[in-house]
Structure 1
Amino acid sequence: MNGAASKDFEGGPISGGPPEDPHDTPATSRAIVVDAPGTHHLVTRPLPRPGPGEVLVEVAAAGICLSDREVYDGHRAPGYVRYPLTPGHEWSGTVVAAGPGVDPALVGRKTVAEGFRSCGTCERCRAGDTSLCSAAYAETGFTHPGAFADHLVVPARLLHPLPDDADLRGAALLEPAAVVAAAVRAAAPEPGERVAVVGAGTLGLLAVQFLAASSPGELAVVDPRRARAELACRMGATEARAPAHSPEVHGRYDLVVETAGARTTAADACLLARRGGRVVLTGMFARGAVGIDPVHLSVSQLTVRSVFGAPSAAWSFAVRAYGSGLIDPASLITNEFPLERYADALALVGGGDPKTGKVLLRP
């Protein structure tokens, strides 16, 4: 599945649905290819084939996030993207073929898969910190073909199979759910604690669902968008607050989980935490973000953690939470588009409309 080769083919629909047997497998597969920032095509090419240790997955749904918008706009750091590219790192699907050395019993299984293609052998990987792999950065949808396509090929070792009755629509959000799971595991919430979530986007709303299960004494959501904050309350938050710098909310919370990645939210999160409290940063901050005051950090004796991506253990945690009904990612979905309307779907992401939640592509 090579983006460079895709220019030799023209777009066109193919039949959907998993094949009943190998003879029904389509000979071609469609994909969105971003040739360079601001330029994309829907192409049809020969069906990719899994190599040794790989599986072919038929994509059921793929989420679009701000990172995908960065890829299209050309704002992602050069070392973290490789053009031409088929984006798509949030997805779910069904295994339709297994390469040499892969258990054939995986064929027909509903699944998601880790995005980071960690080496598995470096010191960090062997310690379980697969999101800190010291090998060259490699991630599905950024350096390797992603899920804005009918099919994709991924290493079988990265799969997290789902229950047979799993809803693949909601499962497409298990990648951001795994990131939040990593944050919550790092935060170690305890029953009765006062907790705040900064931001009510996809990560923030998933954080609310995870944290509500820890029986907090308070669970506040801080977001300027009233509609989003009210949605968080329906998902388990006990109160919604607009961003404020008034002294009465400073130092109130035992735990603050930052999910917005806005210019001031890292510094704001630290102000919300009590002395000796914990702060976990999960937002992707752009250059120019306001730094954390080192004097406040020192005097308040805060514990500050950051999360980038999710290790394998967090993926397992998120998949178990989804299978048990602890989280409901599908409740965040507001818009769904076919591959042909990729441009329309992308325009909604980051467009500023508070009514827009998670946007999916449905091949």
Structure 2
Amino acid sequence: MRDVAAAASVSVGTVSNVLNSPDKVAPATVARVLAAIEKLGFVRNDAARQLRAGRSRCVGLVVLDVGNPFFTDIARAAEKRAGDHDLTVLLGTSDDDVSREQAYIDTFDEQRVFGLLVTPIGDDLSRLHALRRRGTPVILVDRDGTGTPFDSVAVDDIAGGRLAVSHLCEIGRRRIAYVGGPSTLRQVADRRRGAEGAVAEVPGATLEVIDTAAPSVLAGREAGAALLRRDRADRPDAVFCANDLLALGVLQAFTTGGASVRVPEEIALIGYDDIAFTDSAVVPLSSIRQPTARIGSTAIDLLIAANTAPAKHVPSNPVFQPELVARASTLGDIWDTMSHHGDPQRGIPQGRNL
């Protein structure tokens, strides 16, 4: 900074103001300092700045699976909103591994991040409580933190599960299977609760729960293959999957190989999240849409608010409502008659929001 100050013929304090509060400096002086920075190739030492400020300009984000487009979209939205506040998002994925999640939390704690956004794996939030006590704001993402000291942003997954299974019942399906990931995941458990609530309201409807080791395409393919090994009379007439990756895997099993079944004529199929690949699958997939852009940007807004007046901050826990997007995997021929009303710019038909 001293070199930059000498090159621009200003004080070190002026250079600091240009970097941190440029509105306090005359435009001509800002231009002269920035020209000196460019010429010298100056990059400020953020570690030194952290020592003075006690906090970095980085935000830690820990998600369950960065390979899932749902979390990728949340991260992209958070990154965009963080940029508006001169913040940088550092992304980590826990891969549904508690020890990996804890390692990321500890690393971000060591880096004195501006705050932590996290989708926790289980219900043990003790490490997050410790982080918060040390002054680092924690925002729960895709998890309702009502009743905890944490801010959170979430979607009503119980309502989403109910929405999915109610749709299946409305099109006449009664033997419904729920293919979920690990039941330890709160989202999986809540979507199951919603599904059970919908089934309980329809006479003759049943819900079979099929757990998987992971909420992945491979796990969905294995679950679908297991269903195909049953006699036709023992198969469900509809499948609700806890996320779209599972549903795409089930769809692969149903539509490839010699023992394939017709979707939705024999088995209707619906997923959850409405990721980008759902409407371009071999059978366009019905899904429950979550507002990923709003989740990511709201998480950053909550973090900014928590850092503005920590002593007076009252946690906020917005919960968004999911939306049913019905496509060919449940609507079949009905959807085909609607398909020419799709988006000509995208070249593919649109689902129907219900």
TM-score, normalisation: structure 1: 0.34
- Structure of greater Rg: 2
TM-score, normalisation: structure 2: 0.34
Q: Which protein is richer in helix relative to its size?
A: 2
